[in-house]
Chain A
Amino acid sequence: MKTNNLILQTATKVLVFIILLFSVYMFFAGHYEPGGGFIGGLMASGAIVLLLIAYDIKTVRKILPFNFIKVTATGLLFSAGTSAGALFFDKPLLTHWFTYVHPPLLGKMSLHTAVLFDTGVFLVVVGVTMTIIQTIGESE
């Protein structure tokens, strides 16, 4: 049966962008304010779940052609890589390092390797949540 889901689908088109933007904001705010990789990843997967509710699983797979198990693996690689990277500089495991840079237009920025670790957390959370939901949703 063809259902007429116009209101939900039109709203989703706007809402997904707001949720994704807020998840990215949460991810980058993590160092100085509440937020971080975990909650950002959960919010991003929440946006994808909203897409899944408004459209169907095939459409979402066409929009986001990722294998979410591989996303999880990439996240684990990021986290393991940044924690093991300290070993190359003769420092203990999980030692992080930061510096201040002055790029044009953006002013003084502090770049920290903990962001890379957090990116790993973000990817793992998105990958695991989406794998769980897609696996449950597909089984008949």
Chain B
Amino acid sequence: MSARELIELIGPLFIFIGTIFTFLSAIGLIRLPDVYTRSHAASKSTTLGVLCTLFGAFLFFVITEEFVSIRLLLGIFFVFLTAPIAAHMICRAAYRSNVELAEQSVQDDLKPFLKEEGMKDQV
């Protein structure tokens, strides 16, 4: 295998890593007990998986076609910025509509605070 072919493999390698991360996050989505832990699995590792995949595609086009796709870089930045915020909003909406924590959880610091504010009943 020549050196050029080896360099061309960097992009697909990143895409492979990204696929594995996305797969792991799908397993986490099935196996974890409640909304909050599932959201933890879904947001973090899927974000990293998508970032790796996009970066792999970016590298692939840079190496093979010498084409710098600014849209892929912008997509990486955009997903990196938005995915955690989406997870935050989903978890917050779940907590405020009284979705229970998993049975194994031992501590809920937000509950007494929200009760004090009288917010939990209103939302």
Give residues in A with beta carbon < 8 Å to B. Answer: 1, 7-8, 11, 14-15, 18, 22
Whether the Cβ atoms of B78 and A1 lie closer than 8 Å is: no
Q: Count how many chain B residues have C-beta atoms less than 8 Å from C-beta atoms of the other chain.
A: 11
Give every chain A residue within 8 A of B122 (Cβ-Cβ). 1
Residue of B nearest to A12 (CB): B85
Known: A18-B74, A18-B78, A22-B74. A1 touches B119 (CB 8 A): yes
Number of A-B residue pairs at CB separation under 8 A: 19
* Segment 86-123 of B: residues with Cβ below 8 Å from A: 88-89, 119, 122-123
Give every chain B residue within 8 A of A1 (Cβ-Cβ). 119, 122-123
Give every chain B residue within 8 A of A18 (Cβ-Cβ). 74, 77-78
Whether the Cβ atoms of A15 and B89 lie closer than 8 Å is: no
CB distance from B121 to the nearest CB of A (A): 11
Give the docked Cα–Cα distance between A18 and B76 (Å). 12
Give every chain A residue within 8 A of B62 (Cβ-Cβ). none
Known: A1-B122, A18-B74. A8 touches B81 (CB 8 A): no
Whether a CB of chain A sits under 8 angstroms from the CB of B82 is yes
* Segment 68-84 of B: residues with Cβ below 8 Å from A: 74, 77-78, 81-82
Known: A7-B88, A8-B89. A14 touches B81 (CB 8 A): yes
Residue of A nearest to B70 (CB): A25
Partner of A15, one of B81, B88, B119, B123: B81
Whether the Cβ atoms of B82 and A15 lie closer than 8 Å is: yes
Residue of B nearest to A3 (CB): B123
Known: A18-B74, A22-B74. A11 touches B123 (CB 8 A): no
Give the docked Cα–Cα distance between A112 and B122 (Å). 57
Give the docked Cα–Cα distance between A7 and B122 (Å). 21
Give the docked Cα–Cα distance between A22 and B78 (Å). 11
Give every chain A residue within 8 A of B78 (Cβ-Cβ). 15, 18
Known: A18-B74, A22-B74. A11 touches B119 (CB 8 A): no
Give every chain A residue within 8 A of B81 (Cβ-Cβ). 11, 14-15
Known: A18-B78, A22-B74. A7 touches B123 (CB 8 A): no
Give the docked Cα–Cα distance between A11 and B85 (Å). 8
